[in-house]
Amino acid sequence: MQPADAQEAPAEGTTFVATPAEEAAPVETAAEEPAAPEAEAEPAEVADDHGDADAEHADAGHDDAAEDHGDSHATAHIEDIDFSFEGPFGSYDQFQLQRGLQVYTEVCAACHGMKFVPIRALSDDGGPGLPEDQVRAYAGDLLPIVDAATGEERDRVSTDHFPTVSGMGMGPDLSLMAKARAGFHGPIGLGVNQFVNGIGGPEYIHAVLTSYTGEEKEQAGSVLYGNSAFPGGWISMPPPLSEDRVTYEDGTPATVDQMSTDMSAFLMWTAEPKMMDRKMVGLVAVLFLMVLSALLYLVNKRLWAPHKGKLKH
């Protein structure tokens, strides 16, 4: 009888008996446990929302970067300049090269070297054509050089090269810059524009020197300057030229366009100092081939034409 009563007691009042209630608690907890994943699912949903937001932000940033990239590469039109040295019969303007040398010396030499250009070349006939004494005086005013034989510092002489300028904040060497840059491309990679207008290195240099927009921005602790001709639209070199920055000895007005043109022509000479000799050799070679072709035609007509006629009969 007692076992039966003990079995009926929980059935009559489960809420009033402590022990059955405590035993039922795990059952209720077990029943509530499936709800826990729903609570845990909320951070996952929030993470998904953050992921979607980040993805949208990344896409938006990518689109903005793509637009900036497209805008930056939609650079200003490189104007074709009629330089005197262009064409098969063109030659350097000696006075223009002298003005370009003056611009380089007074404006650019502090940050840009020309280590591949010998100073003695300034007296060449196809170059600036300076007198020998003036070239020696110019060499002495440049940065001193360490003598390789003695290891001591000395003044430069005309047989030395232009200085090499290096260090933090210094610009690239300008010796071959007119050949290292191209102002004309295409269309669609065919290079037809370069065939018609040339590579366009001097035109590119002129465009960079004259295309500052006046805008400035700071990036990674450095100040960048807006330039519509430079790839990316921003350049770390501040505008080097301004009206009357130099005073030309021949009285030529020192406008920004004039100084840029003279500097571009001078850098073309530093990159191609023997251009006139090369053109002369090419002209002589063409004349020689024309004479040789005429002689071969006459020889063929004189010696082989009669024999060819007999073979036909």
Q: What is the mean pLDDT of the chain?
A: 79
Neighbours of 175 (CB within 10 A): 20
C-alpha separations of 131 from 137, 208, 246 in Å: 10, 32, 22
pLDDT of 309 above 70: no
Give yes or no for a contact between 178 and 267, defined as CB atoms under 8 angstroms apart.
yes
Neighbours of 248 (CB within 10 A): 17
pLDDT of 251 above 80: yes
Average pLDDT score over residue span 26-49? 41
pLDDT for the residue 304:
79
Distance CA 66, CA 262 (A): 37
- Tell me which CATH homologous superfamily contains domain 94-117+162-276: Cytochrome c-like domain (1.10.760.10)
| 117 vs 192: which has the higher pLDDT | 117
- What pLDDT band is residue 47 in, cutting at 50, 70 and 90? very low
Proportion of the chain above pLDDT 70, given as a percent: 70
The lowest-confidence range among 5-19, 146-160, 165-179, 184-198 is: 5-19
C-alpha separations of 281 from 89, 122, 229 in Å: 12, 22, 36
pLDDT for the residue 153:
94
pLDDT digits (tens, 9 = 90+) for 225-242: 999 999 999 999 999 999
Average pLDDT score over residue span 21-25? 39
Strand 234-235's sheet: what is its strand order? 212-219, 222-227, 234-235
The pair of structure tokens assigned to 12 is: 């009559």
pLDDT for the residue 219:
92
Average pLDDT score over residue span 238-249? 95
pLDDT for the residue 193:
66
Can you say how many angstroms the Cα of residue 253 is from the centroid of all Cα atoms in its chain?
A: 30
The lowest-confidence range among 86-90, 112-116, 126-130, 275-279 is: 86-90
pLDDT for the residue 196:
65
pLDDT for the residue 186:
66
The pair of structure tokens assigned to 123 is: 């007296």
Torsion sign (Cα): 11, 15, 21, 25: positive
pLDDT of 78 above 90: no
pLDDT for the residue 307:
73
pLDDT for the residue 21:
39
The pair of structure tokens assigned to 88 is: 């098969």
pLDDT of 71 above 60: no
Proportion of the chain above pLDDT 90, given as a percent: 57
pLDDT for the residue 39:
39
Average pLDDT score over residue span 27-34? 40
Average pLDDT score over residue span 93-122? 97
Greatest Cα pair distance in the chain: 149
- What pLDDT band is residue 301 in, cutting at 50, 70 and 90? confident
Place of tokens 């070239």: 135
Average pLDDT score over residue span 114-142? 96
Neighbours of 312 (CB within 10 A): 5
